[in-house]
Structures are given as C-alpha cells and as structure tokens.
Amino acid sequence: MSVKAAAVSFDVKSLPTQPIEGQKTGTSGLRKKAAVFAEGNYLANWIQALFNALGEEVQGQTICLGGDGRWFNKDATQIILKLAAGNGLKKVVVAKDAILATPAASAVIRRRGLYGGLIMSASHNPGGPKEDWGIKFNYKNGEPAPEKITDNIYAFTQTMTEYRMADIPDVDISKLGTTDYGGFEVEVIDPVSDYLMLLQEVFDFDMIKGFLSRTDVSMIFDALHAVTGAYAWPIFVEKLGASPGGMHNAVPLEDFGGGHPDPNLTYAKELVALMYADDAPILGAASDGDGDRNMILGKKFFVTPSDSVAMIAANAEACIPYFKSGFKGCARSM
C-alpha cells in the first residue's frame, strides 16, 4: 500500500555550468558512453536544456521517469528528480527501481494524462560503466519528442550557464509510494500495471491463454537480461499461463549479463540454439534493451520483422480486439 510521507520544504540552487560539446539530440534522444554521462555536469546540462526548451509549458506539469535497467540509471534518476523539482515541475512518476520499458512509458503517459516522460535507455546497445547510456523525452501522446523540441534542446545546450537543482534528499525508488516535498511530489509506481491494463484492452488475453495452455504448444521468451525481464513473469506466466521454465534471462541486470540486448540471430544465440534444436518449442521470442523491438522464431525457422508485421496486418481485425473497427496502417523499425 502506498503511504504519503510528511511534506517538507526545499530550496532551489542555481549552479554555474558551461556548454558541453556533443549534445546534439535526435528523436531517439542523446546517446553516449555511460562514463561521459556520469562525469561532471553532462547529464544535468542536458536535462536543464530540456526544461529550458519546454519553457513555461512544463511548469506545474507531471512527467514519468524510468529506463531499461542499465548502469547509471538509478544515479541519473536522483539527478533528474532534483532538476525537475528545481525547474517547477509538480510531480514525477518514477517506475520502481527505475525499470520502465519504452512502450510501458508511453502507456503510463497516456493512461495518466501526463505531460510527457523521460526514458533512460540506449536501446539495444550494451550496458555497463564502459558501455553505452542514453536518454530521450517522449511527449504528451507517448511519442518521441518532435524535431522542434530536440532542436531547441540542442540550442540551449550551446548557451548553458546554469542549472537549477532542488535541495531534496535522494528518493527511495525501491518502494512504492508518494513523497511530498512541499510543492513537488515523487510517486514510485509498479512498472507493469499501467502497461498490462493497456495490453488487456488491445489483445484477447483469453484466446492467448487458451493457446498457451494447449499440450502441443510450448514457448520460450528470452529477455536478454534487459527491461522486459520485469514484465515476463507477471504477463506471460501469471496472466497468460505460460510455463515459468520458458522465461529465460528474465532478471534485468545493469550490464545485461555482459550481453548485447539486440534481438537478432547474432546476439540472441542462446535462444536461436534452443529454437533450432530437434526438441525445440513451437514459439520463441526475444526483445531488445528497452522493450520496443522483438525477434520471433518458430521451430527451426526465423520470422523476419517484415513478415511479422505482415502477419499482424493480415490477422489484426479478426484476432486483435483493438483493431476490430478497422486497421489503419502499420510500419516496422529499420
């Protein structure tokens, strides 16, 4: 049960800084080596530039915050919370342990009517102190920030002179609940619940559960020690009845277990070997670091992403409740 802590007040400090080269931002955000983000004011500069770019529009708003579980995410969360408070935001909704898949962040933004959200991820790139880190801003509809915002962020990174941080203590993001600092709140939420509710509206869970319960059906899901490991058990096992033994590498790790969370035939070797064995299950799947791309395999065959989209399009109206009223279009990530 969530418990609201007693309200406290806080001061805001304007701390001097200067522009840092190389903070050009695209719709996928900003990606660099983790050590670069962790050094000095690098992250603080970019976050302050974001809030500057959003201007008065972001004042008094609520955003969400989470990421793919990679190294530096938890430390970055504390920095971002202090900057959010220092820049006049009303509230930040943080996923427990800062674990939040990109599609789940989009769901949280839309279901809760948030202003937007920050996602800490470098997608399918490796994680760890010597590997990659990234951050991106998703806007009101859960979509990546439009170019007019990302261009504005970059412009502000080139003229930065200060960043504004609230003098608040670190938040315990391992426990669900709300802390009120007097004019600024942090709510730690379950990373699965909003996303699961959306999935249950989109898909026919009873039909999928019936399929997975058949004696001639078996499945392996490989989370590659990335963010979807946090979703595998509650969705596949608890809700859809999949076998617990079919959940592989389902504990998110800061270095993805030393692997490369890119779901393809090269980097998901463990899953590929299992799916090409004589006793392979009939269905295999893997997802990338932040959970917005996947790989599908059948017994001894690989489903190309374009074929996967084509199969969805061909069967959408008949099999997916969300598309019962008509299928408008589709696309695949390149």
Residues recognised as catalytic: 123
- Tokens (6 digits) for 285: 């799947």
| Residue 58 · residue 87 · CB < 8 Å | yes
Measured distance CA(288)–CA(126) in Å, rounded: 10
In angstroms, how far apart are the furthest CA atoms of the chain?
A: 65
Give the integer Cα–Cα distance in Å for 49 and 17. 12
CB neighbourhood size of 148 (10 A) = 8
Joined tokens for residue 156: 């502000």
* Of 48, 148, 119, nearest in space to 89 by CA: 48
Phi, psi of 83 (to 5 degrees): -70, -40
Say if residues 136 and 121 touch (Cβ distance below 8 Å).
Answer: yes
